[in-house]
Amino acid sequence: MQKERKLIIAGNWKMNKTVAEAIDLVTDVKLSLASVKEVDIVVCPPYTALGEVSKVILHSNIRLGAQNMSEQNSGAYTGEIAAGMLKEFSVRYVILGHSERRQYQKESDELISKKALAAHLASLKPIICVGELLADRESGNTEKVLETQVRGSLAGLSKEQMEETTLAYEPVWAIGTGRTASAAQAQEAHAFIRGLVGKLFDETIARRVRIQYGGSVKGSNARELMSQPDVDGALVGGASLETRSFADIIKNSI
Ligand code: PGA
pLDDT per residue rounded down to tens, the chain (254 residues): 667 899 999 999 999 999 999 999 999 999 999 999 999 999 999 999 999 999 999 999 999 999 999 999 999 999 999 999 999 999 999 999 999 999 999 999 999 999 999 999 999 999 999 999 999 999 999 999 999 999 999 999 999 999 999 999 999 999 988 888 899 999 999 999 999 999 999 999 999 999 999 999 999 999 999 999 999 999 999 999 999 999 999 999 99
Q: Does the beta carbon of 130 sit less than 6 angstroms from any atom of ligand 1?
A: no
Query: How many angstroms separate the CA atoms of 15 and 213, rounded?
Result: 20
Q: Does the beta carbon of 179 sit less than 6 angstroms from any atom of ligand 1?
A: no
For 7-253, which CATH superfamily applies? Answer: Aldolase class I (3.20.20.70)
* Whole-number pLDDT of residue 227: 96
Helix, coil or strand: residue 218:
coil
Number of the ligand 1 atom closest to the C-alpha atom of 239: 3
Enumerate the domain spans of the chain: 7-253
CA of 24 from ligand 1 middle (Å) equals 21
Prediction pTM value: 0.97
Contacts 24+ apart (CB under 8 A), 68-72: 68/94, 68/95, 68/96, 68/98, 68/101, 68/115, 69/94, 69/96, 69/115, 69/118, 69/119, 69/124, 70/115, 70/118, 71/111, 71/114, 71/115, 71/117, 71/118, 72/118
Cβ 115 vs Cβ 156: under 8 Å: no
